[in-house]
Structures are given as C-alpha cells and as structure tokens.
Amino acid sequence: MIYNLERALQEEFQKREIIGMEKGMEKGMLEAKLEIARKLINKGRKVDEIIEITGLSEEEILKLQVN
C-alpha cells in the first residue's frame, strides 16, 4: 500500500514537473517573439509583416508600439 502511494506521488510530481517545464518554454518563446517584434517595430516594419514573422496578434503588436 505504501509503495502504491509513493509511486502515485512520484507520478504526480513528474506530471507537474513536465507541465511546469512546458509553461516555462511557452513563456520563453513568447518573450522571444515579443523581443523580435520590438526590434522590427524599431526598424519601421509594417504590422502585417511583424504578424507574419512572429505569429503575434495585431493587438499584441499594437500594444508594443504604444509602449
């Protein structure tokens, strides 16, 4: 019985660890896209081009232009 509990806890820990790593990777990828978009904005690229290059939404890019 204790073995089953330990195994279940270990499996749950591993699942949560994987979920945490995936969320971290997603956040990192978003930050990279935002940084690329900022650089493209500073170079005067059009919003449509930035959308195509980064995959960000128009709303996200317009927010960057304001800031």
pLDDT tens readout for residues 3-62: 788 999 999 999 999 999 999 999 999 999 999 999 999 999 999 999 999 999 999 999
- Radius of gyration over every alpha carbon of the chain, rounded to an integer in angstroms: 20
- Torsion angle defined by CA atoms of residues 15, 24, 54 and 56, in that order, rounded to the nearest 10 degrees: 80
- Look-up: residue for tokens 């940084």? 35
Cα atoms in the 13 Å half-sphere on the side-chain side of 36 = 14
